[in-house]
Every structure is written in C-alpha cells, then in structure tokens.
C-alpha cells in the first residue's frame, strides 16, 4: 500500500499494529505494552507520565499520559485508547490474510483497542516529522477498561489541560460516532433466608434460593424499551442439599440512555426484591452503584463539528447513533471533559473471531490525524 496524502504510511502502521497485538495485555497486565508505548513516544521526543492507577488497581502499570506540545493558541486536545484486552490474550499470533488481520483462532486479536493505540502512535510519528501547526495534545492510554473502566475512573483529570477529547474505542463501521451512550448502574442484592436442617426441620427454615427465584421471575429484565436494558449476570448461594439456604447473592445491572428511566428501572427492581422478601418474612440488602454516566454528542456542538469535518475530509460519511455499551469516554465525560467516542473498524470483538480490515486500520489513523488538523483550525478565544 502506498503512503497516503495524510502522511499515514499503511505498511508501517500495519507492522506496528501486528507488534502491538502480539504483546499480550489482559487487564492488570498492561506493563509490557505500556513499556512499548513509552519507548515509541520517548523516541519521538515526547514526555510520558505514568499515574499510580496500577497500584490502586493491583495491576502492573498505571495509565500513561503522553504530552505533545503544540501551539497554545489552540485548546489542548485529549485523545484516548485503552491498553488492556479481554482474554484469552496471551500468545496472540496475528495473521494477515488478504485485506484482513485476525488471530489464529485460539485468542482474541486485541484490535479492541490496539487499533486505537497503533493509530495514535502512528499519528505521533507523522506529527513529529512535520512542522505543521497543531494544538497541544494529551494522549491517554488507560488500563483496566475491560473490567469496569477502572483505569479511566482512577485517572486524575485535574492533571489534564484538555478541554475536550476523542476516544477511539467504539464498535461499528468507520464513520460511526456515539451520539448517545447509556449510563449504567450495578446492583448487588443479598437475600437473607433462615437456615434449617432440610430433612429434620425444613419448616423452621426460609430458603433464600426460593425467595431469590421468585423475585427474579418478577423483575423487569432484558430489553425494557429502546432506551433501557437490565440483566442479572451472576447469582450464587447455598452450601449443601441438606441445608435450607440462608443467603443468596445476586449481581445485576441496568442501563439507560435516559437518566429518568434509569432511576425508574432501579426503583422497579428494588421494589420487586423488597416486596418479595417481605412476603416471605425475610430481608434483602440492596446495594446500587453508579458504574458510569451516559455519553452524549449533540448536533451542532463544536466537538461534533470537528468529527464531521475530519470525516468529510477523508470521504467518510459520519454516522451518529446510539450504543448500548459504555467506555472510558463515558467516565471522562462524567468528569467534565466532553469526549467523542469513535468507531475504528474492529469487528466481532471479545470473541476468538475478532478481526479488522487493514483499510479500516489505516483510515482510523488518518481520522486521528485529520481530527488534530481540524482542531488546529479553530483558535481559542
């Protein structure tokens, strides 16, 4: 493939991507890939800072922040990708076949989100080789995205100067950008029954399993409507067949594009647990946690205009839509830095069949560059 007018060199980029995916980086084991990223960025002359998220999260490294100086007449721009992947993530053997790259079928590929990392590193190379005007950049590579956006949550955004940003970690075809992403809340419900010998005195017991089962059959779950979903993901309890079970733990979540609907869904789920427990004369502890806030990218906002212009300059048709998933972008936006989350072309992520088209890998890197160039068109007032 020929070098592109944007400055992206497809073969170099693809080679870097192959190297990056070969460095296994399951959550909390991002150290090797972080060292690789640091090496590339420092070689280009950029300052790299690692925060203490690794210590806080029990991982082998923290989030990386690469600071790229630029013309300070422009707002500082945040660009993000995550370093961890889902498992199986060790011994990844990427195979380039025709116009695609896939794993050998025994692991994930890790294009989620190594395609984002490869593009950003390649972008840094292109920018450092030219004299073109650019805004100051803060490139953040997070840890532990796949296990609850923990790296982004641990990131101290007061260390950042960025006024807005772009995350490169959405599913969908290139050109897709998240206009609306749901907020998520998680529930841990503990049903307390009363234990008894199941053969000698079952009437003295109240089975937490029976109470939990009855509650679960009445909970509003699955797709509630176009905006709202809910799921029970895990349940555990009980010790042996001869004991009436006195404790069941249920882990559930609810998501909604609408904060009001999320509140209603939470209340509805809580009510079912409480009423069912009361009917059986037992108690239930309900512990709700806000996992992450929603994400929006409204029409006409400067951030969205930058995305549209950058895509248009590459002949990509922008497509703004909703997603059911959450990402680091939700967390950072929740901390006050608006972030647009863009698709970079990876396919069938979180499966052994994950793949990416080489063309999309290249175009994603071009999109990153064009976004930076677009950001250098509007002088800060």
Binding mask 67-106 for Zn ion (x = CB under 5 A): ----------------------------------------
Give the gyration radius of the chain's Cα atoms.
Answer: 24
From the list 145, 328, 360, 366, the catalytic residue is 145
From the list 16, 51, 84, 261, the catalytic residue is 84
Closest distance of CB 84 from Zn ion, Å: 9
Closest distance of CB 327 from Zn ion, Å: 6
Closest distance of CB 27 from Zn ion, Å: 11
Say if residues 365 and 310 touch (Cβ distance below 8 Å).
Answer: no
**Closest to Zn ion by CB, 245 or 342:** 342
Say if residues 120 and 128 touch (Cβ distance below 8 Å).
Answer: no
Binding mask 138-177 for Zn ion (x = CB under 5 A): -------------------------------x--------
Closest distance of CB 28 from Zn ion, Å: 16
Closest distance of CB 170 from Zn ion, Å: 8
Q: Near Zn ion by CB under 5 A, which window of 109-117, 193-201, 232-240, 247-255? A: 109-117
**Closest to Zn ion by CB, 113 or 246:** 113
Q: Near Zn ion by CB under 5 A, which window of 67-75, 111-119, 238-246, 363-371? A: 111-119
**Closest to Zn ion by CB, 38 or 82:** 82
Task: Count the neighbouring beta carbons within 10 Å of the beta carbon of residue 346.
Answer: 27
Question: Applying CB under 5 A, which of residues 113, 246, 261, 328 lies at the interface with Zn ion?
Answer: 113
Nearby residues of 305 by Cβ (< 8 Å), 6 or more positions away:
none
**Closest to Zn ion by CB, 191 or 364:** 364
Instruction: Give how far Cα 267 sits from Cα of 70, 257, 260, 270, Å.
Output: 48, 16, 11, 5
Identify residues 291-350 at the interface with Zn ion (CB under 5 A).
none
Task: Count the neighbouring beta carbons within 10 Å of the beta carbon of residue 338.
Answer: 21
**Closest to Zn ion by CB, 327 or 374:** 327
Surface-to-core class of residue 62, CB atoms within 10 Å of its CB (0-12 exposed, 13-18 middle, 19+ buried) = buried
**Closest to Zn ion by CB, 169 or 360:** 169
Q: Is 145 a catalytic residue?
A: yes
Q: Near Zn ion by CB under 5 A, which window of 108-116, 117-125, 191-199, 207-215? A: 108-116
Closest distance of CB 336 from Zn ion, Å: 22
- Site size toward Zn ion, by CB under 5 A: 3
Question: Applying CB under 5 A, which of residues 112, 246, 354, 366 lies at the interface with Zn ion?
Answer: 112
Q: Is 43 a catalytic residue?
A: no
Which residues are the active-site residues?
Answer: 84, 145
Which residues lie near Zn ion (CB under 5 A)? Answer: 112-113, 169
């Amino acid at each position: 493939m020929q070098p592109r007018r944007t400055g992206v060199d497809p073969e170099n980029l693809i080679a870097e991507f192959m190297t990056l995916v070969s460095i296994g980086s399951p959550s909390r084991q991002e150290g090797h890939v972080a060292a690789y990223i640091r090496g590339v960025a420092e070689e280009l002359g950029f300052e790299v800072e690692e925060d203490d998220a690794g210590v806080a999260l029990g991982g082998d490294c923290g989030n990386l922040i690469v600071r790229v100086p630029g013309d300070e007449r422009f707002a500082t721009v945040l660009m993000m990708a995550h370093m961890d992947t889902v498992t199986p993530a060790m011994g990844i053997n990427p195979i380039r076949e025709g116009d695609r790259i896939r794993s050998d079928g025994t692991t994930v590929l890790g294009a989620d989100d190594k395609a984002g990392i490869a593009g950003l590193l390649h972008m840094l190379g292109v920018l450092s080789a030219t004299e073109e005007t650019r805004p100051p950049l803060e490139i953040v590579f997070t840890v532990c995205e796949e296990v609850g956006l923990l790296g982004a949550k641990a990131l101290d955004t007061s260390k950042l100067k960025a006024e807005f940003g772009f995350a490169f970690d959405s599913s969908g075809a290139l050109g897709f950008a998240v206009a609306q992403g749901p907020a998520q809340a998680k529930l841990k419900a503990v049903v307390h029954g009363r234990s008894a010998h199941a053969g000698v005195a079952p009437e003295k017991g109240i089975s937490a399993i029976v109470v939990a089962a009855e509650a679960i059959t009445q909970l509003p779950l699955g797709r509630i409507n176009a905006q709202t979903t809910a799921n029970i993901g895990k349940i555990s309890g009980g010790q042996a067949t001869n004991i009436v079970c006195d404790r069941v733990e249920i882990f559930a979540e609810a998501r909604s594009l609408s904060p009001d609907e999320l509140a209603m869904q939470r209340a509805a789920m809580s009510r079912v647990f409480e009423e069912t427990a009361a009917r059986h004369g037992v108690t239930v502890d309900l512990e709700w946690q806000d996992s992450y806030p929603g994400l929006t990218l409204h029409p006409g906002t400067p951030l969205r205009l930058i995305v549209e212009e950058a895509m248009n300059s590459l002949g990509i048709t922008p497509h703004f839509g909703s997603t059911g998933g959450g990402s680091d972008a939700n967390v950072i936006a929740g901390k006050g830095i608006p972030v647009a989350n863009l698709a970079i072309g990876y396919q069938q992520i979180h499966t052994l069949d994950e793949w990416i088209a080489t063309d999309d890998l290249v175009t994603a890197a071009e999109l990153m560059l064009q976004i930076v160039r677009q950001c250098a068109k509007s002088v800060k007032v």
